[in-house]
Structure 1
């Protein structure tokens, strides 16, 4: 599976692509939209399990087998949180509370629905992976991955939670 291009790679690719011309007698190809690192929706669902690394360097990906179990609902999705229509501040507060409560209840996987935004580049969609990688959630979040199409695809994330600490 291909990984998304890094910003410096996109810049270099733009320079190279500008110098390419079609063969004689052929039409110019339509320009492809480049993948960006800050747009999780452009990341194809990963069966190999490193979608989360592409989403955020600080958060580990969900293990491939576990992601498969979650997407097939063989491992229960213990909770769903829909962030549609919330401001960034409110969404972050709700997300933090939801994850901490879910872990305290013994839930091992949740689905966070961010939506795609108007043109596929929604603010919450870009920001939620960063929030999940925050240091204050490091004891809660085990990994993240883009959701399967039936669970919202590019507009949703699976979040694997760590086991709650023993008292």
Structure 2
């Protein structure tokens, strides 16, 4: 909507519209006012975690006990075929564009926690495409978030819940995104 004043023609037209409007029936208005209104939910401060929803957070895995997230193992052929065809619809999408390295790590960790608590199976993680060789020379380095993802997932307190990590189908972002497949609850 614009804050500009109405022209004379628009004012005249609006006046004609107002003249054709019939007031609402007072009985109907009172019935609508008597309808119950939903209570406002309490405002939550701080990060959203499993505890926010009555769940329990997992503890971080010590460095000596960390195991790399399986790149090509952990899924049956049916899952791999569906992922390669782009048929899998992610339950949730996590977009890390615009985040700093530390805030992206926190966003990924909290999103994994909530997805595990919600029982999701497939997560689409958007990190952005890797830069070309020329861009890396000109701007320096490669995408820090993209480079750190595999380390973050391996060191995550949620690593035991991750079945596999795959490159996304072009429909879902291709080289700029990953599928994180979570294990089924048993």
The answer to whether 1:157 aligns with 2:178 is yes
Aligned to 2:79: 66
Contact persistence 1:144–1:157 (CA under 8 A): yes
Aligned to 2:107: 94
* SS state at 2:160 partner: coil
Aligned residue pairs, count: 109
Q: In terms of Rg, which structure is larger?
A: 2
Where does structure 2 lack aligned partners over 5 or more consecutive residues?
Answer: 1-66, 134-141
Q: 1:83 aligns with which of 96, 103, 107?
A: 96
1:155, distance to aligned residue in structure 2 (A): 0.9
Contact persistence 1:111–1:158 (CA under 8 A): yes
Contact persistence 2:166–2:179 (CA under 8 A): yes
TM-score by length of 1: 0.58
Aligned to 1:123: 144
Partners of 2:88 and 2:185 lie apart in 1 by 17
1:137, distance to aligned residue in structure 2 (A): 1.9
* SS state at 1:157 partner: strand
85 and 135 in structure 1: CA distance in 2 versus 1, 3 angstrom threshold: closer
TM-score by length of 2: 0.52
